[in-house]
Structure 1
């Protein structure tokens, strides 16, 4: 039966319920009965029992994957209402959530034979007894979509290239049509007009519009550029995209006439459930570019934050004076920390973004002069009442400058250290938890394409992360700096600027949105206009003065106006005739202009490559701070019309083949390779992987099971407990602890630490943590101790400025992380490295790359001890209801629920919370047995 969609909530990727909450059960049942009648008309073809496992699979049954909550991200209106009224799930909407969740309590007894209890078999093809359905979309004879019984994954097999891509588009629409529609509107800044004007929708569209305010002509120009600059492959990409779109639009037409289209089209007023009036717009090529701009901005655009860096530097210089203040700032920035965990750990150096001896062209703002460029104009109704807060949330790129682009991990071990002699890999991206999921699973087999894995919905003409015939690949977000901030000097008025000496008008780009009242969620009618001012140096982000001159700070990203370029790299990764070795894998990823770490494993080799268009900057430019918009400080050979320049060659990107092992958890890539992220220091969540994999490699005989266990163990560990708490307790225990409250807290923390410092349930399904009180105590203690340790020495202004560069904490329950609370991904951003270095220094231990001065107790061990004990006593007395204050999903004091992972509803289907795990959303476990 064709698949169906089901959204309804978009609150930061979700909104309140968009269907009438007052429907009574009897009315719901009556409505459902009427809506179910068309479903009998859309039955798929009978299962093809002759389908056999593919012969081009060299993994030997040892490739597995998982992607919660389930493959089916579609639901009709009837299915949405059934789910909301009775909790009934559509087929394959939730069947990967349980296995994913259960690894947290099942990994300790894992064996190779049990791996597919927690993962899917990712072998090519579908065994004949596992075929759930077979369909020939639109009656085509050149493609079939076979879905398996276990997970409902579409296995698309075509005899022509066009038919194959047509099938990929049709399957994508079956599984994610509404989600694709949502994100093409997000990419155009049109979400509120499409899905309603709640504050979360406003904030979401504003965030992306500010970063990529493209006109329709801009979107088309990016398509034309791919075709013009990539020869045969560019033309093939265009042909593939057109076939893919034809498949999507064929499903739209079929679901419309058969009346099994996604239910939220009714719930948001686009379709009438009784008369079928209304339309679902066809997709077009520029929609794919709009979608790509959203995904690229979220996960593949490292850098930015130069204005915030400048503000904290000025605060440091104000506090300490220019010379000492600069030293303090540099010590907290940790550009190239000697103790940082590295992905390439063999001593190879890849200088990029390093500090110049003498900075040139710096354009630091005058104190107090910086203001954020307004985005919202002419607001009415709920646009006026909500846009101020929504715009503020969207525009305040303070802390974490590039934090939202974090997440994902990889563990890869060379065959020289495994039991089989073949490399083993456990890796995947952490894209957040949503319902339906942003990613979707698929297998594509056709002329020039042979792959299985995950792709972002609406961009699935190729597999983006997954496996080929005899190799697998995955990615983590890398975060190196491809975004620079320029100070354009204003002339004539606030909307003209000097470009290479000529007064030039800014371009004004506007998007007008209006929405109708929605009774179900209480949103009244409203409207506003989003207005972006663009220069040749990119969109305006801030206004300020520099040395008394009025400037606009603009943001120039190397992938700006090049959102579609990466399609060539993904095309190559899917091509079995192109990728045949680690070298050809690296060559393929060199065609991806977004900032990612790419990992590879086949039966003989492993490899790594860091992608992204790294611009070659003018001599003396410091990438950390704004620079004057003058020709002498432009990127080398920069063409403002095409936004192209010289880029660092592939050999200068961190890259490696057959290192003993690789780990990545968004940590530093290699020596002298500077990322835009603060916090790449002595304690990073990458250490949780590095410590475990290093031990496995030293012992030898690594297996898929042992590597999954290492990943899972790290995924349940509190980074602060494992890598910082031991030294905190050393300070406290440097003298006998006589205070009874402090002594009791120390004992509980030590017991928890001895048990491994993990946030785990007492037993599967208990929803109660073992060592719960110790966990609560550390959660309450950390912000108290950080402030008491650093604020007296830094001063309030500088302390606040540094917290705007880097949050002090990111626990599982923190609402300020890259994707908010209940997001799983944790401990990426925090002050753990600062605390670690400072406490070790106070203890008299050796510290490479110490902070510029000692902070805890002014460097006095006894004074530091007093601070730690005082804050610990306060933390111990802080109630769980205060530490875990509760939200719409959890009552105050519910520790397990506060940490729990929620599949955030982008549609109408809801799922249950699962226990916290800090691991990729989509994940592969692979070990190839042979090679072509």
Structure 2
């Protein structure tokens, strides 16, 4: 067997011309030999044990729906991969949810309740007998059955014992996502390059996550031991569930290896031989799941941090304006408690957390120009060491993954008081990015103590993590509140010793070595490198600097560090029909989830909201925005460095609510005075797009599933800049007659687009041409130009750049430079929308609550501001489509629709087609329960 692995599991797998002849021959052998999935083999005989059309424990009345593109099937044999690469053919159920998901963008205007399942799946429990595609007893077990439906191939797992149920969940997960699970357990351990080759994308992924969670095997096991011990009987049950789940995964590995229908990526990465079947696929173990959880937690549930960047921009502001005025300017841009910010809890209740102290204590701001990032990579060898691609360290897929946490998820929930039926209606889901295979997978699990359907992260699907129970549904959005602090540890003796409570203490050195072999295809030289993290009791070292001339290391401490496994108890509770019987039980369940999420709930009578996360109780006077001295007086209250536990704010101090008239969330501010939030939560935020639409629906009353879905879909196509900021910009420009013909034409084009609704929509379904193409091109070109022209003269280039590092100025769908990268779907989460809005309204003389400390556009002069806007608009109008949309690995220069388009970024060998842009969750539910237990 050849042990040579491709350099890049994320890119090289999808380049058919690089496949060697022996792999093509192997594909023919596989096809001729009939080495297909066992699911397909049993499809014809699988109707005998199908569930009834309406399950007895289903109280949704056929009014629960969901969708998760591109498809449930995330595994493909070598033959299927090669056929996909050569001819574009798709394995069964690999892409069948992508079309309905994409089509909502053009079909939502005529949506009715009866048509919802044209764009979504029926998420009722069970499978009607005429819709059964296959039935299997995994490993021949008599205590569990996996039924898959014809429409989407979703596994419906029914067990008569708890062990059998979880065994089936593990088996089904491996059937659908084995390769992806393997990739991510190696990412979490910092071992992806050793597993899949030394490509830039692989290195970028493992470096991104391992730097923040440099766990040893003992650390991973210790998390399990502590989580189980702390949770009593539920902890013991969770461990039993995990072990049964692992047994199911490993049983599938053995079966697929014996039957030779394992994922083809194992051949393409040199782990298996297509001809002899030599090689192994390693069994999964319990610590693998903790490693996997650390990746998911880092992506979606670890809010806060950035204190060093904040300090750098504060120093830049103070250098520009002086300490007092510079601090005032910085605070106005930070908008840490902006009175104009859209709130999820809008009933006036306040939830103070991480508010600005009157007299800050313990701040450890770096000396100007002294900050350097701690190196992670050492001892690099091989040709990749000098590769520009390696220095960049990320491909598009890696960029989308590592920045996915920046903008995700939305929720629209309306109380029954305002619906047509009198029952609450919810449309909600997480934005986990677009990947092939998708990070999430759908499933239904029915067994002793478990009754749920929905989505779970692959490899963590022993429970449904987002979905529905018997008579309730729940979902989450990333909340981003601050559970991460930066400490300045004073160095002593050398660069690797620090003062801890007055004693010079050695840092722990944590290493991960990686080596990769030449690719099968092109013989690139082997290489290796070592990742090294220096760890203190205050967390891993991230930066070094001086503070008042003293050498310090800046460390990052988060409350979920060494506690990635703790949240399993909350998910176990959510799946337990005997635990969750109403909104209060729901809140008790999600209180056990230590990741930073906004949780939403709906049943036939009630709605609810709760913000989860272990929010540390900080010492009095500590400002969470900036680095703090690593001294006992400024540590988290009750902090134990041995276990990284502390005192946390009680549930009553977390934003929470039951039966508010409506809830919206699009990663916006949770509640008044809840200040520990990301930059950009000001007067204009993506959440405004939902707030405006849902508020109107509620005011009119009679909300239905279809009307709430239409509100979501309409917001998903809106250009936030055009809807909420452009009218004010045009108001300034039109304050006098526009005499320049180029500018006048651009103004007319933009005004017509605003009047038409300011959407980015195709002329017709599948046309791949925007209805307002010129207006969209002009605004895409204008926004970065106008922001620079408006703010840089007043701020100066250094401060303008520093604020830009804290908050990128633009995140349009086509902005490849934006936080989420190109083709990522999620847009308008981060940008200078609020700054422009507040500044322009100030110039216009309109009322502004929480204004910027200074007026920037034209120094506050309406005439001068107008000149700046017209000048930058003329420049934008003169830019060609090729200049605005320069092209990339997916699109030709000038192709506007393609530049916006959503791409399912490949994490394996199967690729899918592009879809038109829409700004909505990846997994999404539409629910309205008709009754309750």
Q: What range is the shorter-chain TM-score in?
A: over 0.9
Q: Distance in 2 between matches of 1:142 and 1:285?
A: 23
Residue of structure 2 in register with 1:3 after alignment: none
Do residues 31 (structure 1) and 30 (structure 2) align?
A: no
Deviation at 1:401, TM superposition (A): 12
Instruction: Return closer, same or farther for 1:136/1:699 CA change in 2, 3 Å cut-off.
Output: same
Report if the CA contact (8 A) 1:244-1:461 is conserved: yes
Matches of residues 453-468 of structure 1 in structure 2 within 5 Å?
A: 453-468=454-469
Residue of structure 2 in register with 1:435 after alignment: 436
Instruction: Return closer, same or farther for 1:527/1:235 CA change in 2, 3 Å cut-off.
Output: same
Instruction: Return closer, same or farther for 1:281/1:702 CA change in 2, 3 Å cut-off.
Output: same
Residue of structure 1 in register with 2:549 after alignment: 548
Q: Distance in 2 between matches of 1:522 and 1:767?
A: 40
Q: Distance in 2 between matches of 1:400 and 1:158?
A: 35
Instruction: Return closer, same or farther for 1:23/1:673 CA change in 2, 3 Å cut-off.
Output: closer
Q: Deviations over 1:650-681 (max 9, x none)?
A: 00000000000000000000000013310000
Deviation at 1:249, TM superposition (A): 0.1
Deviation at 1:517, TM superposition (A): 1.1
Instruction: Return closer, same or farther for 1:172/1:27 CA change in 2, 3 Å cut-off.
Output: closer
Residue of structure 1 in register with 2:340 after alignment: 339
Q: Distance in 2 between matches of 1:737 and 1:384?
A: 56
Q: Distance in 1 between matches of 2:23 and 2:620?
A: 71
Do residues 450 (structure 1) and 451 (structure 2) align?
A: yes
Do residues 83 (structure 1) and 84 (structure 2) align?
A: yes
Deviation at 1:813, TM superposition (A): 1.1
Instruction: Return closer, same or farther for 1:487/1:570 CA change in 2, 3 Å cut-off.
Output: same
Residue of structure 1 in register with 2:651 after alignment: 650
Aligned residues: 922
Deviation at 1:28, TM superposition (A): 3.8
TM score, norm. by length of structure 1 = 0.97
Report if the CA contact (8 A) 2:489-2:553 is conserved: yes
Deviation at 1:17, TM superposition (A): 3.0
Instruction: Return closer, same or farther for 1:827/1:319 CA change in 2, 3 Å cut-off.
Output: same
Matches of residues 752-791 of structure 1 in structure 2 within 5 Å?
A: 752-791=753-792
Q: Distance in 1 between matches of 2:498 and 2:660?
A: 50
2:12 to 12, 16, 21: 16
Report if the CA contact (8 A) 1:375-1:391 is conserved: no
Q: What is the DSSP-based 3-state SS (H/G/I as helix, E as strand, rest coil) of the residue aligned with 2:463?
A: coil
Report if the CA contact (8 A) 1:401-1:677 is conserved: no
Matches of residues 799-838 of structure 1 in structure 2 within 5 Å?
A: 799-838=800-839
Q: Distance in 2 between matches of 1:391 and 1:569?
A: 39
Residue of structure 2 in register with 1:632 after alignment: 633
Q: Deviations over 1:413-458 (max 9, x none)?
A: 0000000000000000000000000000000000000000000000
Deviation at 1:473, TM superposition (A): 0.1
Report if the CA contact (8 A) 1:297-1:405 is conserved: no
Q: Distance in 1 between matches of 2:173 and 2:152?
A: 15
Residue of structure 1 in register with 2:715 after alignment: 714
Report if the CA contact (8 A) 2:811-2:831 is conserved: yes
Residue of structure 1 in register with 2:873 after alignment: 872
Deviating more after overlay: 747-756 vs 400-409? 400-409
Residue of structure 1 in register with 2:744 after alignment: 743
Q: Distance in 2 between matches of 1:398 and 1:503?
A: 39
Q: What is the DSSP-based 3-state SS (H/G/I as helix, E as strand, rest coil) of the residue aligned with 1:724?
A: helix
Residue of structure 1 in register with 2:481 after alignment: 480
Q: Distance in 2 between matches of 1:734 and 1:483?
A: 47
Q: Distance in 2 between matches of 1:197 and 1:360?
A: 46
TM score, norm. by length of structure 2 = 0.97
Instruction: Return closer, same or farther for 1:687/1:844 CA change in 2, 3 Å cut-off.
Output: same
Do residues 122 (structure 1) and 130 (structure 2) align?
A: no
Report if the CA contact (8 A) 1:402-1:479 is conserved: no
Q: Distance in 2 between matches of 1:40 and 1:101?
A: 29
| Structure 2: segments with no counterpart, 5+ residues | none
Report if the CA contact (8 A) 1:560-1:643 is conserved: yes
Q: Deviations over 1:14-67 (max 9, x none)?
A: 323366625599984773244441526942372133421321000000000000
Q: Distance in 1 between matches of 2:448 and 2:409?
A: 31
Q: Deviations over 1:384-421 (max 9, x none)?
A: 22499648779xx9999987343100000000000000
Q: Deviations over 1:276-326 (max 9, x none)?
A: 000000000000000000000000000000000000000000000000000
Report if the CA contact (8 A) 2:498-2:507 is conserved: yes
Q: Distance in 2 between matches of 1:525 and 1:402?
A: 29
Report if the CA contact (8 A) 2:844-2:862 is conserved: yes
Residue of structure 1 in register with 2:46 after alignment: 47
Matches of residues 523-562 of structure 1 in structure 2 within 5 Å?
A: 523-562=524-563
Q: What is the DSSP-based 3-state SS (H/G/I as helix, E as strand, rest coil) of the residue aligned with 2:17?
A: coil
Q: Distance in 2 between matches of 1:649 and 1:690?
A: 29
Residue of structure 1 in register with 2:578 after alignment: 577
Report if the CA contact (8 A) 1:135-1:144 is conserved: yes
Q: Distance in 2 between matches of 1:501 and 1:77?
A: 60
Report if the CA contact (8 A) 2:500-2:631 is conserved: yes
Instruction: Return closer, same or farther for 1:811/1:346 CA change in 2, 3 Å cut-off.
Output: same
Q: What is the DSSP-based 3-state SS (H/G/I as helix, E as strand, rest coil) of the residue aligned with 1:561?
A: coil
Matches of residues 345-360 of structure 1 in structure 2 within 5 Å?
A: 345-360=346-361
Q: Distance in 2 between matches of 1:368 and 1:346?
A: 45
Q: Distance in 2 between matches of 1:40 and 1:218?
A: 39
Instruction: Return closer, same or farther for 1:173/1:196 CA change in 2, 3 Å cut-off.
Output: same
Instruction: Return closer, same or farther for 1:732/1:206 CA change in 2, 3 Å cut-off.
Output: same
Matches of residues 171-182 of structure 1 in structure 2 within 5 Å?
A: 171-182=172-183
Deviation at 1:525, TM superposition (A): 1.4
Report if the CA contact (8 A) 2:16-2:82 is conserved: no
Do residues 516 (structure 1) and 517 (structure 2) align?
A: yes
Report if the CA contact (8 A) 1:474-1:600 is conserved: yes
Q: Distance in 2 between matches of 1:789 and 1:915?
A: 32
Matches of residues 880-895 of structure 1 in structure 2 within 5 Å?
A: 880-895=881-896
Q: What is the DSSP-based 3-state SS (H/G/I as helix, E as strand, rest coil) of the residue aligned with 1:21?
A: helix
Do residues 68 (structure 1) and 60 (structure 2) align?
A: no
Q: Distance in 2 between matches of 1:870 and 1:10?
A: 48
Do residues 897 (structure 1) and 893 (structure 2) align?
A: no
Instruction: Return closer, same or farther for 1:650/1:609 CA change in 2, 3 Å cut-off.
Output: same
Q: What is the DSSP-based 3-state SS (H/G/I as helix, E as strand, rest coil) of the residue aligned with 1:512?
A: strand
Matches of residues 282-301 of structure 1 in structure 2 within 5 Å?
A: 282-301=283-302
Q: Distance in 2 between matches of 1:393 and 1:543?
A: 24
Instruction: Return closer, same or farther for 1:442/1:240 CA change in 2, 3 Å cut-off.
Output: same
Report if the CA contact (8 A) 1:35-1:77 is conserved: no
Q: Distance in 1 between matches of 2:166 and 2:544?
A: 46
Q: Distance in 1 between matches of 2:400 and 2:315?
A: 16
Deviation at 1:382, TM superposition (A): 3.3
Instruction: Return closer, same or farther for 1:490/1:255 CA change in 2, 3 Å cut-off.
Output: same
| Structure 1: segments with no counterpart, 5+ residues | 1-7
Do residues 734 (structure 1) and 732 (structure 2) align?
A: no
Do residues 189 (structure 1) and 190 (structure 2) align?
A: yes
Residue of structure 1 in register with 2:909 after alignment: 908
Deviating more after overlay: 616-625 vs 53-62? 53-62
Q: Distance in 2 between matches of 1:85 and 1:801?
A: 47
Structural RMSD (CA):
2.0
Report if the CA contact (8 A) 1:197-1:523 is conserved: no
